[in-house]
A and B are shown apart, each in its own frame.
Chain A
Amino acid sequence: MRSDEAKFILSAFRPRGEDAGDPQMTKALAQAGRDPELLRWLDEVREFDLLVASKLEESTPVPAELRTNIMIGAQVCPSARRSLRLFLIGTAAALVLLVGSFGLLLRSVEPLAGWQLAALEVIPGLSSGQTPFDEQSNDLRELQDWLEEAKAPNATTLPLGLSRLRAVGCKTFSWNNQLVSIICFGGENEGFVHLVIINLQGSPNAPRLSSPHWIERGGWLTATWNSGEQTYMLAMQSGRAALKALL
């Protein structure tokens, strides 16, 4: 091996010696062992590389909150996308069957609508991390953009309290051939808050935000209201006072 060939290879030799076991590096290092000038060159290059590495580290501090954000995000993040798909397919099939067969019966005994029941089937998985989001971001605008591209119902207005929370991610699912969107927010002390949105044009007797419809179901407190052509449902596990503070 010529000296310039060895230099070329050793340029990629990490200065702390991590690559010493690499076959190409071994040959080049052996050459340096036989060539004092090449060895001197290598020592100086390694000194320079160590200096640059330390300066690069010094000049690029890592945000203190990054690790925390990753861990928090992971709590609501998928552990198995495949199982989610199966879960969603199963859920959707079950819901279609359930609603198709017993829709009228359900309505007569249950104040929650079919899309709300379907949402309450999906939401616990989002909170526990068993169900992945379709899109994750702490920037609500990015989630809105994603929903717009997906042609899914979008939040055009938000209650003031809710708008102060940090967005976490969003998800859509199909109910009765109609898309339903869920935007998840990270509550400070109250855990996650889920905003479900569906386009229900001309819903009669729909409640307004000033007097939302409160229903508790399976440990989830929900508040439902209409705005324009959309119906919103906010769901969280904390008490009514905490939920009311967001409206």
Chain B
Amino acid sequence: MDFQELVDANHTALYRFALSLTKSQDRAADLVQQTFYRWAAKGQELRDPSRAKSWLFTTLYREFIKAHHQESLFAQVDLSEVPEAITDVDLIPDEVDSAAVREILFSFEEIYRAPLVLFYLNQLSYREIAKTLGIPIGTVMSRISRGKARLRRRLSQEQNCCPPRKVIPMFHSNKPAK
């Protein structure tokens, strides 16, 4: 796969993942570009071309972590607030608002947001997600399961209480003014 094919096949999913991490269009675009530049510099040394996609997601996530190394990504989660993971499906919202889905998903703590978004992007298996995020497979499964339960609950609450959002709000750049 040449560089252009690699970009065409992966840049949209990478951008969406980056957007979920940074919550900023500018920073997400920067992160995606930086990831492809890393590929141009080092990725072609990868022996197994089938791992290119996984390499890109892993590199993007590491770049994000590096840029936010001062933040404690896994320290502020109160697991007691997380609902039971395995619940029976009692409700699938009829009219799910796309803006609400994004807002709710992006409002989750990073430890749930990252695996859930990767899961819904349909690009990586749970095993690949575990490698990308550097966490055990069981933890990924647990977070996906709990995250989905929480998402479903929030969407149901949203549907019961709030009218659909009419406009999809765009994120503003949150680059610090220099």
A residues near B, CB below 8 A? 4, 7-9, 11-12, 14-16, 18-19, 22, 41, 44-45, 47-49, 51-53, 55-60, 62-63, 66-67, 69-71, 73-74, 77-81, 132, 136-137, 139, 141, 145
Query: Which of B46-54, B57-65, B70-78, B94-102 touches A?
Result: B94-102
With A51-B96, A55-B102, A60-B102 given, is the CB distance from A45 to B89 under 8 Å?
yes
* Docked complex Cα distance between A7 and B148 (Å): 12
With A51-B96, A69-B33 given, is the CB distance from A74 to B3 under 8 Å?
yes
Closest to B87 in A: A7
Q: How far is the CB of A128 from chain B (nearest CB, A)?
A: 13
Contacts of A44 in B (CB 8 A): 89, 92
Size of the B side of the interface (Cβ < 8 Å), in residues, is 53
- A11:B86 contact, CB within 8 angstroms: yes
Closest to B93 in A: A51
- B7:A71 contact, CB within 8 angstroms: yes
Contact bitstring B1-41, A, C-beta under 8 A = 1, else 0: 00110011001100110011000010001101110110011
Contacts of B175 in A (CB 8 A): 139
Contacts of B102 in A (CB 8 A): 55-56, 59-60
- A41:B8 contact, CB within 8 angstroms: no
Nearest first, the 10 closest Cβ-Cβ pairs linking A and B are: A11-B145, A59-B98, A12-B126, A59-B102, A55-B101, A55-B98, A44-B89, A58-B98, A78-B41, A77-B40
From B40, B86, B144, B148, contact of A74 by CB (8 A): B40
Closest to A5 in B: B86
- B168:A59 contact, CB within 8 angstroms: yes
Contacts of A66 in B (CB 8 A): 11, 15, 29, 32-33
Contacts of B32 in A (CB 8 A): 66, 70
Contact bitstring B116-133, A, C-beta under 8 A = 1, else 0: 010111100111000000
